[in-house]
Amino acid sequence: MELPKMTRRDFNKSTTLGVVSLALSAGPAVRNVLGANDRMGVGLIGAGNQGRFDLSSMLRTGQVDAVAVADVYDLCVALTLDAPGMSSKTKGYKDFRRLLEHKDIDAVIVATPEHWHGIPMILACQAGKDVYVEKPASHTIYEGRKMVEATRQYQRVVQCGTQQRSGEHFQKVAKMIRGGKIGTVTFVEAWLTGGFTREQRKLAPPADSDPPPGFDWDFWLGPAPFHPYNRSRRGFTGFWETGGGEMTNWGPHLIDVIHWAMGVDAPVTVAASGSRYASQGLYETPDTIEVVYEYPPCAVSDHGFAARFSQHLGRGPDEHAYGTQFYGTDGTLFVNREGYTLWPAQATQDVWETFGPTQVMKGDGAAQHQPHVVNFLDCMKSRQKPNSDMETTHRSTSACILANISLRLGRKLHWDSNQEQISGDAEANKMLNEERRKPWNAI
C-alpha cells in the first residue's frame, strides 16, 4: 500500500531515534484522577489507517484533545496533523517514547503493526497512561501475558480493539446464547472469505529498495529481525515475523465473539492445516487455513463444544461472507457486523411448511467502533474494566496464535491455559515467545 505524497505541513523532523533504551528518559507522567467533565489528552502511536480512524472516533466525542502523534514515517505524522479536527498545537514525533513523556497525555492509542503492540503498550502503562491497543493483542503469547501484567501492575484502563463487544446486537446475541435461547451449543464456526483477486495472486514480490524519504525502516522493523526495505513487508500480517495472516488479523475478532458468547477463555486442543494454495510469492502466511478447536465444559454446554475457524479465498454469499454461527439443540444463530439471524430448531429440521420461516428472528447490526471508543473514555473516568479488557483479548488472541503454531508444526496442540503452556511439546512451547532485536529485548 503506497501512501499519497507529503502534504504541505512540515513537522519537527529533528525527532530521530536518540539513545535507544526501553526505559523512558522521564519518570511516569501521570495526571490526577479525571473528573466527569475533564477533557482528556490523547496521543496516537502508529498513524496509519486504523490509528487515524481510532483517533478521529475519539475526537468525535468532543471530550478529547489530540496532544501528539508518533509514527516512524514522517508522511503518516504529517497526514494526521493535517486531518480534520486536529489542533495546530498537536505535536509530531518519530519516536513514540518522546510522546510518552507528555504529562498532558492521559491515554495513548497503539495502532502499530502486529509485532509492535506490546512494547509501546507496556511503556505507556509504565508512564501512567491508559491505553487503547489494537488487535491482535500481541505477536506472541508471552508478550500478551506481559501486557496483562503491566495493566495490573500500573492499574491502567486498557481497551483492546475487538470492538464487537460494544455493539448492541452482538451484546444481544451473547446474552441469548448464554441465556440458553438456542439450548446446548455443541459447535460454533467462524469464517472469513476473501483476499487475493486473480490478478493479485500472480504478483511477485517487488525488489528490495531504499525506503521512502522520512521513513525509518529499521525502527519500523523494531524488535523483528532486520531485512532490507521491501514494500511488500509493510503488509505486516503477510509475514510471520511481523504478523500472523488472517488468523491473527480477523481471527481475534471472530474468536473473541465465540469466547464471549460461550463464556470460555481458552481451548483445550487446537489443530490447524492450510497453505498458500493460490497466492505464491508475495507473502508468507497462508491464503487458506482450517482450524479445529475443542473447548472445555462451560455454562452453555456441560460437555464442552467444538469450534472451527476457516479462512479461504473467494467470496461467500454477500450477507455471509464472514461471521460466526452457533449450533445448538434448540436453534442456530448467525452473527456478523451487519446483523444476526436465529433459526429455531424447527426451521433447521426441514419442517418449514409447518412452522414457517416467520419464526426466523433477524436483527440489524448496530455501531461497534464508536461505542467502543466511548466505553474506553467512560472507563478512563470511572476506572472500571472496559468491554474488551487486556486479559480477555489476550486470551482470544492466544487461541489464534496457537492455531498458527499448530499450522507451522503440522500437529495438534494440547493447551494448558492455566500455565499458558503447550502440554508435552517443548518445540511448540519455544514458539510462545520470540527473539527480539536489541534494544527492544527487555520484556
Ligand X SMILES: NC(=O)c1ccc[n+]([C@@H]2O[C@H](COP(=O)([O-])OP(=O)(O)OC[C@H]3O[C@@H](n4cnc5c(N)ncnc54)[C@H](O)[C@@H]3O)[C@@H](O)[C@H]2O)c1
Nearer residue to ligand X within complex by CB, 250 or 295 = 250
Least distance (Å) between residue 107 CB and ligand X = 16
Nearer residue to ligand X within complex by CB, 63 or 164 = 164
Nearer residue to ligand X within complex by CB, 137 or 148 = 137
Three cell numbers at 443? 520484556
From its phi and psi, is residue 7 left (phi > 0), alpha (psi between -120 and 50) or beta?
beta
**Contacts for 12 with CB less than 8 Å, ≥ 6 apart:** 91, 92, 93
Least distance (Å) between residue 254 CB and ligand X = 12
Nearer residue to ligand X within complex by CB, 46 or 144 = 46
Nearer residue to ligand X within complex by CB, 133 or 292 = 133
Nearer residue to ligand X within complex by CB, 51 or 238 = 51
Nearer residue to ligand X within complex by CB, 123 or 431 = 123
Least distance (Å) between residue 433 CB and ligand X = 19
Nearer residue to ligand X within complex by CB, 330 or 434 = 434
Least distance (Å) between residue 437 CB and ligand X = 12
Report the distance separating Cα 199 and Cα 315, nearest Å: 15
Least distance (Å) between residue 234 CB and ligand X = 6
Report the distance separating Cα 245 and Cα 239, nearest Å: 7
Report the distance separating Cα 331 and Cα 169, nearest Å: 18
- Angle (nearest 5°) at CA 324 between 379 and 288: 115
Least distance (Å) between residue 262 CB and ligand X = 21
Nearer residue to ligand X within complex by CB, 136 or 328 = 136
Least distance (Å) between residue 50 CB and ligand X = 3
**Contacts for 434 with CB less than 8 Å, ≥ 6 apart:** 139, 140
Nearer residue to ligand X within complex by CB, 46 or 245 = 46
Least distance (Å) between residue 283 CB and ligand X = 14
Report the distance separating Cα 119 and Cα 432, nearest Å: 16
Least distance (Å) between residue 49 CB and ligand X = 4
Least distance (Å) between residue 56 CB and ligand X = 12
Q: Between the CA of residue 397 and those of 91, 140, 189, 245, 364, what are the distances in Å?
A: 33, 9, 17, 13, 27
Task: Give me the helix-helix angle, 141-153 and 118-126, nearest 10°.
Answer: 10
Residues of the shown chain interacting with ligand X in the complex, contacts defined by CB under 6 A? 45-51, 70-73, 76, 96, 111-114, 116, 134-135, 161, 163, 219-220, 222, 249
Do residues 77 and 94 make contact, with C-beta atoms less than 8 angstroms apart?
A: yes
Least distance (Å) between residue 312 CB and ligand X = 20
Residue nearest to ligand X (CB): 48
Do residues 300 and 184 make contact, with C-beta atoms less than 8 angstroms apart?
A: yes
Nearer residue to ligand X within complex by CB, 135 or 394 = 135
